[in-house]
Amino acid sequence: METVSLAEFEKNLTTVLDRIEADCEPVIISRSGHPPAVLLSLSDYQSMEETAHLLRSPKNEERLMKSLADARSGKAEERQLAEEE
C-alpha cells in the first residue's frame, strides 16, 4: 500500500484520486510522519460495507464461511440463476 504525505496529497489530489480509482489500491495519507488516514475507492468502500453487513448475522456468517469452504474443497456446483418472467 502506497503512503503519501498530506502535502503531496494536496498538491497532487486529482492524480492520487485517479490512481486510487484506476488501481483499486488504497493510499495511506500521512501527516507529520504518522498515518492518520487511508483513502480508498468508493467501490472498495461499498464492498467492505456490504461484507460487514453480511457478516453481522452469526447465522449468515456461518453459511457464508461454509459455502466458501465447500467451494475451496471442490464441493460447490455451478447453477444458473432463474430468469424473471
Question: What pLDDT, in 10s, does the model give residues 25-36?
Answer: 999 999 998 888
> Over the stretch 47-82, which tens digit does the pLDDT of each residue have?
999 999 988 888 988 998 898 899 999 887 888 888
Q: In this structure, what C-alpha cell is assigned to residue 48? A: 467492505
Q: What are phi and psi of 83, to 5 degrees?
A: -85, 145
CATH of domain 2-40: 3.40.1620.10
Q: Which of 49, 47, 4 is nearest to 24 (CA)?
A: 47
**Alpha helical stretches, state H, the chain:** 6-11, 13-23, 42-55, 58-72
- CA 18 – CA 14 distance, rounded (Å): 6
pTM flag (> 0.75): no
Q: Report yes or no: 41 and 20 within 8 Å, Cβ to Cβ.
A: yes
For the chain, the structural domain boundaries read 2-40, 43-72
Query: Which residues lie across from 48 on neighbouring strands?
Result: none
